[in-house]
């Protein structure tokens, strides 16, 4: 049976962020994830986690100015010091919040910069981040993201992520596999999950098209849930989707689709 974590960046958005923890617990979630904690104090977030008996299973390293269009900076040779300062900040939050793993968004290719320099910057920054996180007892994740939603994103396919992990050579570096992004870029979801299960530390979900709840689109989630049970995936599945109406109105998919996967 899959373990679902509510993504509080995308779910319960009718509420202020710090009120979403109570809503998630009230809806039956035992764990949460979100993009970034940095606009809030770690103490305030920890209080919400503890008050509602929730585990935090994932957040991202700082990714630049999100509202201005940044989607990570690990590949940008002009922002290495900013990236590395962000690693230290993320570890500080992780230690206080008890999260076991942090995701690194590779970023969009900076204009006018040589592709090999972009790649080498990404490799060097991942080596730095992996070493820093290992010292803190944390896993580092990298996430392929589809280039329809984020044109120019430098990491978009699973095989590319696995090759990057091999090149970096860190034993605490893994793939964050987002089913929605993977469906848009490459399909072959079941075969890819089976082939690379040992490299995957976290899975996220949404349906396609629309990035709405599972069961609203073309992806056969009962089949995938049964497959993940069969091949032994023991991690969390982050519910990173846009509710088609309200979060609460759409949550019936959990019981309905998991029952079909039994």
CATH number of the domain encompassing residue 219: 3.20.20.150
Q: Which residues contact 103 (CB under 8 A, 6 or more apart)?
A: 58, 59, 60, 61, 140, 141, 142, 143, 176, 202
CA–CA dist 137, 95 (Å, integer): 9
Do residues 218 and 208 lie in contact, with contact meaning Cβ atoms separated by under 8 Å? yes
pTM summary value: 0.97
Partners of residue 204 on adjacent β-strands: 178, 238
Res 237: pLDDT = 98
Length of the chain: 262
Catalytic option among 92, 143, 186, 213: 143
User: Catalytic site residue 143?
Assistant: yes
CA–CA dist 126, 239 (Å, integer): 26
Q: Which tokens sit at 19?
A: 């009120």
Residue ranges in the chain whose pLDDT is less than 70: none
Domain count, the chain: 1
Res 98: pLDDT = 98
Catalytic option among 14, 92, 188, 240: 240
Range of the domain at 134: 3-260
Res 15: pLDDT = 98
Res 27: pLDDT = 98
Q: Which residues contact 54 (CB under 8 A, 6 or more apart)?
A: 21, 24, 25, 29, 30, 31, 32, 48
Res 87: pLDDT = 98
Res 129: pLDDT = 98
Res 261: pLDDT = 87
Res 262: pLDDT = 74
């Amino acid at each position: 049976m899959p373990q679902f974590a509510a993504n509080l960046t995308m779910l319960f958005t009718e509420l202020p962020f710090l009120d979403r923890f109570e809503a998630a617990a009230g809806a039956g979630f035992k764990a949460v994830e979100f993009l970034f904690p940095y606009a809030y104090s770690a103490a305030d977030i920890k209080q919400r986690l503890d008050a509602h008996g929730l585990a935090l299973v994932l957040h991202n390293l700082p990714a630049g100015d999100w509202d201005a269009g940044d989607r990570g900076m690990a590949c940008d040779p002009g922002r290495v010091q900013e990236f590395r300062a962000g690693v230290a900040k993320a570890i500080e939050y992780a230690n206080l919040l008890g999260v076991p793993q942090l995701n690194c968004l590779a970023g969009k290719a900076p204009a006018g910069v040589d592709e090999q320099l972009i790649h080498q910057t990404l490799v060097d920054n991942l080596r730095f981040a992996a070493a820093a996180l290992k010292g803190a007892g944390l896993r580092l994740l990298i996430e392929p993201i589809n280039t329809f939603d984020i044109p120019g994103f430098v990491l978009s396919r699973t095989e590319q992520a696995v090759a990057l992990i091999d090149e970096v050579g860190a034993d605490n570096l893994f793939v964050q596999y987002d089913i929605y992004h993977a469906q848009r870029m490459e399909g072959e979801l079941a075969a890819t999950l089976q082939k690379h299960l040992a490299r995957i530390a976290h899975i996220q979900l949404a349906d396609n098209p629309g990035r709405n709840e599972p069961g609203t689109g073309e992806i056969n989630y009962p089949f995938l849930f049964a497959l993940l049970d069969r091949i032994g995936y023991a991690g969390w599945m982050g519910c990173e989707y846009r509710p088609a109406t309200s979060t609460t109105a759409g949550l019936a998919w959990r019981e309905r689709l998991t029952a079909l996967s039994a």
